[in-house]
A and B are shown apart, each in its own frame.
Chain A
Amino acid sequence: MNEKVPVIEMRDVTKVFPGVIANDHINLAVHEGEVLGLLGENGAGKSVLMSILYGLYQPTEGEIFVRGKPVAITGPKVAIEQGIGMVHQHFMLVPVFTVAENIVLGDEPITNVGTLNTAKAVNEIKALSEKYNLEVDPHAKIEDISVGMGQRVEILKTMYRGAQVLILDEPTAVLTPQEIKGLFEIMHSLTEAGFPVIFISHKLKELMEVCDRVTVIRRGKMIGTIDIEDASPQILASMMVGRDVVLEVEKKPSQPKEVVLEVENIHAVGLNDLPVLNGVSFKVHAGEIVGIAGVAGNGQSELIEVITGLHKANSGDVRLNNETITNHSAKEIIHKGIATIPEDRHHRGLVLDFSIADNGVLGSHDQPPFARWIQRMFDAIRAYADKFIQEFDVRTPNQEAQVKNLSGGNQQKVIIAREIGRKPDLLIAAQPTRGVDVGAIEFIHRRIIEQRDAGKAVLVISNELDEVMGLSDRILVMFHGEIVGEILAKDATEDELGLYMAGAKRNTPSSPKEVSK
C-alpha cells in the first residue's frame, strides 16, 4: 500500500438530509496514480459523497484533506481551485454551444479588448487533447457529437481547469462497449501521468478491470476498502449488497405449452417512412421466455411498439391467444392480456411527478377496484400500493413519494409490480434492468422467471447479451428489421450470437415451434 500522503482524503464524512443519513462516517483516500473504485448500489450514497467532494453539498460532519491539508469545499469553484475535476453522470454540457465554448465556460481566455478569445481557446484545447490523447473537434456543437466524445469533452473540461484528481460518476452507463474500452485507455494514460481517478460504478466487471482498490458503501455506511488482488466479482457483490448474490441466473428447463403470441410477417416503417420491420414472424409459447438480441436500433423497439399498439404495422398480423390484435389501441391490448415493461421507464413507464401509488395503478386506474364510475377509489389504490411496495421491496419513505425521487432500481420495481399485477398472459420485458443495480437485477430476473414458471409467455428484449442469454429459453436475433437467427439458449455462445447480430450469419427456421420443443 501507498505510504505517501493521499491526494484526496475524506475522513468521517457524514451527510444528513431531513430524515435520511445519506453518508454515515465515510472514509476514503485516493493516492497518486491509482484508480479507486467507489462501489455501491443505486441510492447507497456514492453520488452524495462525490457531490460533497465537489462542493455541491456541504458535509454535516467530517473533514476533507487535499494533499494533507484540510480544506472546506464550499462550492464547485473551490473544488476546481483545489484541482478536483468531476465528470457527472449526466453530462454538464450546453448542447447548443461548441465543444470549445463548453470547455472554457467560466474560465474564458480573453483578447486585449475583453472579448472571447476563441482562437486561443481552440489552441489550448488542441494542445490538451493531444497531450492526453483525448480526441475532440473543438468547433463541433455538443448536440452533434457522440456520447463518447461528449465524455472526452467533460474530461478535457476538468483538465483545462488544472484538475489533478478526476472523479468519474458512472461514466460507462451511457457508452457502447467500444467507447467503454476507449474510456479505460484514457483512464490508464491519466493514471500513468500521475492523476488519481475515482471511478464510481456498480458494474463489477468494469471495477475488476480498471481499479487498483475499491471502496464499498452500502445504504450510506462505509463497508470497507479492498485491494483488487483480493477481490472478485462475487466478493464485491456481497460487500455491496450485504449478502451472497447470485450473479448467474438460475432456472429450471422450460415447459413450453400452447402458443400465446404469434407475430406473422410484420412490416412497419419509422421516421421518414424508412422501413424498420421487414417481415418479422415468431411465436412465444406459454411457459417459455423468448429473448430478442440485437444491436440497438435494429427494429427491436418498433417491434415491441407494434405488439403493444404504439406503432402502426403496415402489414402482417399480431395474434394473442389466436385473436388478432394488430393495430388495436394500446388500452385494448393491455386489457386483452399483454403487460409491458417499457425500455425507457422515464419516457414510457412512469409519470415522474406522480406518486408511487398513482403510478402503480396506471393503465388500470379506470378499472375496478381502483375506480367506480367516474370516481377513483383511493382506499383500494392505497391498499394496493402498500401491498406491492412490501412485495417488491420498493425502498421508499412512503407510497406518496413522487417516483422521480426514487432510485432507478426502485422505479423499475414499481413498473414491474404494476405490470405483473395485471396478471397478463404475455409479459414483455424491454431492457428490464437498464440502469439498475446488482441487487435489484437479481430480484427482477427472479420475478421474470417466476412469471414463466407460472405458465405465462415472456418476451425479453435487451441490449445486454448476458441478460438475454441468462434469461431466455430461446433466443431470436434481430438485424435490419428482420429475425436472422434463432438458437436455443442452452446451445448459444456469445461468439455465435455476435455473428448473427452483425448480420454475418443467418438461419431462419420454417417452424419456430419445432425448434423450441
Chain B
Amino acid sequence: MEILFSVLTVSLFAATIRSATPLVLAALGGIFSERSGIVNIALEGIMLIGAFFAMMISFYANQYGLPPLVSALTGMVGAMVFGFLISMIHAVVSIRFRADQVVGGVAINILALGLTGFLLQLIFETSGNSPSVPNLAAMPIPILASIPILGGIFFNQSPIVYVALLAVPISSFVLFRTPLGLRLRAVGEHPKAADTVGVNVFRLRYLGVGLSGVLAGLAGSYLSLGQLNIFTENMTNGRGFIALAAVIFGKWNPWGAFGACLLFGFADAIQISLQNAGVNIPSDFLLMLPYILTLVALAGFIGRSRPPAAAGVSYEK
C-alpha cells in the first residue's frame, strides 16, 4: 500500500497525460469519422504512417538546414498531411466504392505496417529504430507551468499535448454547437434524411474521414516526436485500437472519449511507475493492465452505448 501511495506523484499524472495524448487525438478522429457514418479501424495504421513521416520530414528538414524546432514542427504538420492522404484511401474505398469499411480499415493497417517498415529500410537502411531527429520536447508554458501540482501535470508538456487538450472542447463544440456538426451527425444517423433536405452526404463523410486522418496523423507524430525522437517499427503497438475502444467507451462523445483515454493513460502510467518502484508483480502482467481495462470497458460495464445508426453502412442514392 505504501508503495502505491509513493507512486501517486505529480510525475505519475504527468505521465498519464503523456500516455493519453496520442489516444485522445486518435479517438477524436475516430469520433468524427464514425459520427459521419464511416467506421474507421484504420486509426492504428494512420497513426503509424503519421509517426513515420513526422520522423522522416523532421530528419530531412533538419538536413536541409532548418532549425531543430522548425524541423520538428514541419514533421508534425507533415504527419497530419500524410495521415489525411492515407485516410482518403479509406474514404474513397468506403464512400465512393461502398466497400466493407472494416475490411478496408484492416487493409490500411497492414499497408501502413509494411510501408513504414519498407521505407525505414529503404531510406535509413535499418529495420528497428530510425536515427534520432529533432523533436518536440516539453515546452513549459510560462506562468501556468509554475502553478503547483497542475502546472507540473498539464503545462510542462510537448506542444502536441496542448493541441490535444484543446482539441477536446473544440471537437465537442463543433459537433454539438454548430450547423456543420448537426449535419455531420445527421449523415451518420440517417443519411437519406440528410440527403432529402439537400445536405451533401458524401462531402460530409469525406470530411469526417479526413478529420480522422489529420488527427490520427497528429497522434502518430506525438509518438515519434513528442514522446521520443525516433521512429521504431510498429511503434503504435495497438494504440489505434485502444483509441477505438475509447470512442465506444466514451459513447462517441469527445469528453467521454477524453475520460476513457485518461483512464487508459493512467493504467499505462501506473504500470510503468509500479515497475520502477520494484513492485513484486511480474512486469508482463502490469503490461497487460491497459488492455485488460480496455476489454472490461468494452464488455459493457459502461452500460448501453449506441453507435451512430448508419455507421458502417454505405450510402447509395
| Chain A contact residues, CB within 8 Å of chain B | 54, 56, 75-77, 80, 86, 88, 91-97, 101-102, 105-108, 110, 114-116, 157, 161
Contact = CB atoms under 8 A, between A and B. Distances in A.
A80 B197 contact: yes
A108 B189 contact: no
Nearest to A108: B179
Interface residues of B, number: 22
B198 A94 contact: no
A96 B179 contact: no
Interface in B289-317: 306, 309, 317
B153 to A, nearest CB: 31
A95 B309 contact: yes
B190 interface: yes
Contact of A106 (B181, B198, B309): B198
Q: Which 5 pairs between the two chains have the least Cβ-Cβ distance?
A: A77-B198, A106-B197, A92-B193, A108-B179, A94-B190
Contact of B196 (A88, A95, A115): A88
Contact of B198 (A80, A86, A97): A80
Contacts of A106: 183, 194, 197-199
Instruction: Tell me if A's interface is mostly helix, strand, loop or mixed.
Output: loop
A145 to B, nearest CB: 15
Given A93-B193, A94-B189, A76 B198 contact: yes
Given A115-B178, A116-B177, A116-B178, A105 B189 contact: no
B309 A96 contact: yes
B112 interface: no
A186 B88 CA distance: 47
25 contacts: A56-B196, A76-B197, A76-B198, A80-B198, A88-B196, A92-B197, A93-B190, A94-B185, A94-B186, A94-B190, A95-B189, A96-B306, A97-B185, A97-B189, A105-B182, A105-B183, A105-B186, A105-B193, A105-B199, A106-B194, A108-B179, A110-B179, A114-B178, A114-B179, A115-B177
B309 A108 contact: no
A86 B317 CA distance: 17
Given A93-B190, A95-B189, A95-B309, A101 B195 contact: no
A235 B186 CA distance: 44
A417 B150 CA distance: 73
A86 B193 CA distance: 12
Contacts of B177: 115-116
Interface in B250-266: none
B178 A105 contact: no
Tell which of A56, A95, A116 has the most Cβ of chain B within 10 Å: A116
B192 interface: yes
Contacts of A80: 197-198
Contacts of B182: 97, 101, 105, 108, 116
Contacts of A76: 195-198
A95 B190 CA distance: 8
A75 B197 CA distance: 10
Given A106-B183, A116-B177, A96 B197 contact: no
B190 A107 contact: no
Interface in B169-211: 173, 177-179, 181-183, 185-186, 189-190, 192-199
Interface in B222-245: none
Nearest to B198: A77
Contacts of B192: 92
A102 B182 CA distance: 9
A157 to B, nearest CB: 7
